[in-house]
């Protein structure tokens, strides 16, 4: 079962997203801050991070760049209320693989996450 780290500080949205992803067959870990994202990955296998751009302790792009600097190789999907070309380019430049503009449907979220799960490499498959 692929694991998703959901980084979202709006409790109602985080709950709805986690429920939709869980029903779609993902194991979901939820945190509400950029620092929580780093701690959430620490020592765990995470396939996809869904990162809110607007977090209380740091910008989601700063958190994404930090995860990449720490060696995270999984997919990062940034969610943002600002999904214009400059914001998308900034997200990709920070290490995101995809950007999902708010508002979005839960069906679109699930399909974007599903499409982001990378098959294991030969070394990981064993």
Question: Is domain 3-45+53-105 annotated with CATH 3.90.470.10?
Answer: no
Q: What is the pLDDT of residue 33?
A: 95
Distance CA 11, CA 96 (A): 23
Q: What is the pLDDT of residue 120?
A: 60
pTM: 0.91
Q: What is the mean pLDDT of residues 9-20?
A: 97
pLDDT digits (tens, 9 = 90+) for 25-62: 999 999 999 999 988 888 889 999 999 999 999 999 99
Q: What is the pLDDT of residue 7?
A: 97
Q: Is 25 exposed, middle or buried (0-12, 13-18, 19+ CB in 10 A)?
A: exposed
What are the DSSP calls for 12-75, one per residue? HHHHHHHHHHHHTT-EEEEESSHHHHHHHHTTS--SEEEEESB-SSSBHHHHHHHHHHTT--SE
Q: What is the pLDDT of residue 83?
A: 73
Which residues have C-beta within 8 Å of that of residue 26, sequence separation ≥ 6? 1, 2, 3, 4, 113
pLDDT digits (tens, 9 = 90+) for 89-110: 999 999 999 999 999 999 999 9
């Amino acid at each position: 079962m692929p694991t998703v780290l959901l980084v979202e500080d709006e409790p109602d949205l985080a709950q709805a997203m986690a429920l939709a992803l869980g029903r779609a067959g993902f194991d979901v870990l939820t945190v509400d801050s950029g620092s929580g994202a780093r701690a959430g990955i620490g020592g765990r296998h995470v396939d996809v991070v869904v990162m809110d751009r607007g977090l209380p302790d740091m910008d989601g792009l700063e958190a994404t760049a930090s995860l990449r600097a720490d060696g995270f190789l999984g997919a990062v999907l940034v969610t943002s209320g600002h999904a214009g070309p400059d914001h998308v380019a900034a997200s990709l430049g920070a290490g995101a693989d995809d950007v999902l503009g708010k508002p979005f449907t839960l069906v679109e979220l699930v399909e974007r996450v599903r499409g982001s799960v990378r098959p294991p490499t030969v070394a990981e498959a064993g």
